[in-house]
Each structure stands twice: as C-alpha cells, then as structure tokens.
Amino acid sequence: MTAEAVLQRVHEAGLSIQVRAGNLHVTPKAHLGSDLREALRAGKAEVIDLLRVKAEAALATAAADAGLNLDQIVEAAGADYQEILEDPGVARAFLCAVRDRLGTQAGRRPRSWTKAVLCRSCGPVWLFADSPDVVEGCPWCHLGPEARLAMPRPQVACGNCEHFQPDLLGAGGIGCCALEGHAHLWSSARGEPSSATLSAPPLYPWALRRCGCWSPRVGAATSRTGAAR
C-alpha cells in the first residue's frame, strides 16, 4: 500500500495523524485497527516523508498568503525547522512571528499591533494589544536611526512630555523642546518626517506629532501616547 493510500485510510477512519520527534502519532489511538496499525508500521518512513511534504506545502501556502516565502521561514527557524513543521499550531504562530519581525525591520506596523506603549529604549511604539503600557525593550529597538525616523509611531503631544518647555513670557501654550537639535527625530501628525535639524523650533503643546523622544512628564499618564492614531 502506498503512503498516500495509508493516509487516505487514516482519514477515512476519522483519525488524526501527526509526526512528532520522528514518530507517527495517531489519535484517538484506541480507534486504530490492527490492519491499519500494521500498514503504518510497515510504511512508517514513507508516511513520515509524505506528511512532512504535505506540512511543508501547507506552510509554503500560508507563507505566500502572508507575503513571505518558504526560504524566509526556513532561515528564521534554523535548526528548529523540522520541529516547527511537525505542529501546525506552532507553524502558524511562528509564521506570524516571522511576518511581524520582517515587517518591523521594513518599518511596517503589523496589523495586530494596535496598542500604543512607551518603550524605555526607543520611545512611543505600537505593540500587541495585550502589551503593558511601558516596556524596557521592544521589537522596534533594533532599527537603526534612519529606520526609526520613518517607522510608524503613535502620536503624542509635547504638552505632557518632560522635554517640553512652555514659553513663560507669552500667554502660555506655545513653547519649545529642550532637546537641542533633535527636530529631525520627530515628524508631523501627518507622518511626514522632518528633514531639518532645527534647534528648538516653536511647538504647540497639544498638537499631535510622532516623536521618538517623547517621555512622560512626571504625573502625566503614559497612556497619552495612545491618545491618537
């Protein structure tokens, strides 16, 4: 009996079959008849190969649906590839993780990253919905200075940033940023990065901008980072 025929009989019997650590696992085991058990034993190597081929084809399709290719998954998995391939649930989760990681490397926000949080290393960032409000490091931290300038960030307001200096001589309101020459690090609310390296440009405290240097003023809620998209 060919491996394909053995698998066909397994499925017709309503059983599930997986490769785990190089062995075949059938569930529910109690429903495995003696003739099918013998067919699996006799054709074990071929059945394992066929299951791996099918799992890899399914992973390649899922990768293509996610805008990736199988080589990227294989490279990211390294020595764990076969183990990942053996469990469809793990394979799906790994695929999502690779897609998100490559997305952040390319400066794209993964669709499921909907929470604005403060990373103490790289500023206001988008992360997973169940992330804490403040994190010490994040998947965006590895980006270089150019990529950080272009990366999608939640909008913030200077008014509740520790670096904002209100103009005490005027009627209040407009002020400036105490971080000298850092204007190149923020972009307008429309997402246009500033190419200027102005020193202390005038700032309206409640205008929204995307600034990697925003840091909460003492007493200001960190959730302010997520006040606007």
Structure tokens at 127: 């992360």
Pick one of ligand SF4, Zn ion, none as the site partner of residue 61 (Cβ within 5 to 8 A by kind). Answer: none
Distance CA 124, CA 175 (A): 21
Q: Is 213 in the site for ligand SF4 (CB under 6 A)?
A: yes
- Whichever of 4 and 162 has its CB closer to ligand SF4, that residue is 162
| Residues 6+ positions from 49 with CB-CB distance below 8 Å | 3
- Whichever of 105 and 199 has its CB closer to ligand SF4, that residue is 199
Do 91 and 99 touch, CB atoms closer than 8 A?
no
Is omega for the bond preceding 152 within 30 degrees of 0, making it cis? Answer: no
Q: Is 211 in the site for ligand SF4 (CB under 6 A)?
A: yes
Pick one of Zn ion, ligand SF4, none as the site partner of residue 113 (Cβ within 5 to 8 A by kind). Answer: none
Do 119 and 138 touch, CB atoms closer than 8 A?
yes
- Whichever of 17 and 203 has its CB closer to ligand SF4, that residue is 203
Pick one of ligand SF4, Zn ion, none as the site partner of residue 3 (Cβ within 5 to 8 A by kind). Answer: none
Instruction: Tell me how far the alpha carbon of residue 1 is from its chain's centroid.
Output: 44
CB of 165 to ligand SF4, least distance (A): 8
Applying CB under 6 A, the site for ligand SF4 has a residue count of 12
- Of the candidate spans 5-13, 91-99, 114-122, 211-219, the one that interacts with Zn ion by CB under 5 A turns out to be 114-122
Pick one of ligand SF4, Zn ion, none as the site partner of residue 122 (Cβ within 5 to 8 A by kind). Answer: Zn ion
Taking CB under 6 A as the criterion, the residue among 161, 210, 216, 225 binding ligand SF4 is 161
Distance CA 84, CA 77 (A): 8
- Of the candidate spans 60-68, 135-143, 190-198, 206-214, the one that interacts with ligand SF4 by CB under 6 A turns out to be 206-214
> How much is the CA Rg of the chain, to the nearest whole Å?
26
Q: Is 119 in the site for Zn ion (CB under 5 A)?
A: yes
- Whichever of 27 and 165 has its CB closer to ligand SF4, that residue is 165
| Residues 6+ positions from 180 with CB-CB distance below 8 Å | 199, 200
85: closest CA among 97, 96, 73?
73
One-letter amino acid at 6 equals V
Q: Is 176 in the site for Zn ion (CB under 5 A)?
A: no
